[in-house]
């Protein structure tokens, strides 16, 4: 698409990018309904993302800064947020390869090891009432992962899926039984990790410089296996190499492969709420497998 002149009304993507970067915007390119690129007068390009609202923009900005503060994984530089829009540096895209994947795995282990004050803890400056994608997500803290995960991650989305008719009332019991058994299904206790929180492959950008950068976090304190389970859920490229790098830096507790489904229940139910019955069926299948284990 050809560059468009930045809006003149003071409220468009170009005007927001100019205010938050302190530079003149020379062109704006619309990428999608929620994304635009703004070209700055010094040649740099930034991305303007329209979020569900000011609270979502604030949460995402705080999450990116919290991830960056760990000094391990890379994220695009954050220029700020305004009126529900977030402005970050554009990532020049490349392709995945084993070397970058192994390095990313080590960096992800370092991010998790940076820790969080509690399970459910929001990033500094981030709201309790946050988002995962377009779905509301409450960052309420707890000290016991199985109880916290059931109460504040799995069950809220299960209840909404039932209310919306996406999951039948008679089907919900299998997920509830998994929640009841989480103390025995969740493996050895782990300290709260600093999670990206929405680590599907679309939020893993393979840069042209050979470095991975993460975008669109739903950052909070959680169990480190949750991020890894999300990577597996939607087919991250070079996943085996990512896991190799991760385990070089931070070995996983025994039996972690059998727990992947437990950690996938949360994102699958979020997707069921957002996108319908197909994901609900996948969540129910995962729950049945976990309950039978």
Active-site residue set: 198
Q: Degrees (nearest 5) of the Cα angle 275, 281, 160?
A: 55
Distance CA 77, CA 87 (A): 9
How many CB atoms are located within 10 Å of the residue 164 CB?
12
């Amino acid at each position: 698409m050809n560059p468009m002149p930045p809006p003149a009304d003071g409220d468009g993507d170009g005007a927001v990018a100019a205010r938050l970067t302190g530079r003149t915007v020379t062109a704006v390119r619309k990428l999608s309904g929620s994304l635009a690129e703004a070209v700055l007068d010094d040649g740099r390009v930034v991305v303007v993302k329209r979020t569900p609202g000011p609270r979502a923009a604030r949460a995402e900005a705080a999450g990116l800064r919290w991830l960056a503060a760990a000094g391990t994984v890379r994220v695009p530089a954050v220029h700020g947020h305004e009126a529900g829009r977030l402005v970050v540096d554009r990532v020049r895209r490349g392709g995945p390869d084993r070397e970058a994947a192994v390095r990313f795995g080590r960096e992800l282990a370092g991010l998790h090891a940076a820790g969080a004050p509690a399970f459910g803890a929001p990033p500094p400056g981030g709201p309790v009432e946050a988002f995962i994608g377009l779905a509301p997500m409450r960052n309420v803290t707890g000290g016991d992962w199985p109880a916290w995960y059931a109460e504040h991650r799995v069950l809220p989305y299960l209840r909404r899926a039932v209310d919306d008719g996406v999951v039948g009332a008679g089907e919900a019991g299998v997920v509830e039984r998994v929640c009841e058994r989480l103390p025995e299904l969740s493996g050895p206790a782990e300290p709260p990790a600093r999670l990206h929180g929405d680590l599907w492959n679309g939020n893993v950008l393979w840069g042209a410089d050979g470095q991975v950068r993460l975008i669109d976090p739903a950052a909070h304190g959680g169990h480190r296996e949750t991020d890894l389970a999300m990577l597996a859920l939607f087919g991250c490229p070079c996943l085996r190499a990512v896991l190799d790098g991760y385990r070089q830096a931070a070995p996983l507790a025994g039996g972690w492969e059998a727990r992947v489904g437990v950690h996938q229940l949360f994102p699958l139910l979020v997707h069921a709420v957002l996108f319908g019955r197909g994901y609900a069926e996948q969540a129910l299948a995962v729950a049945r497998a976990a309950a039978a284990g």
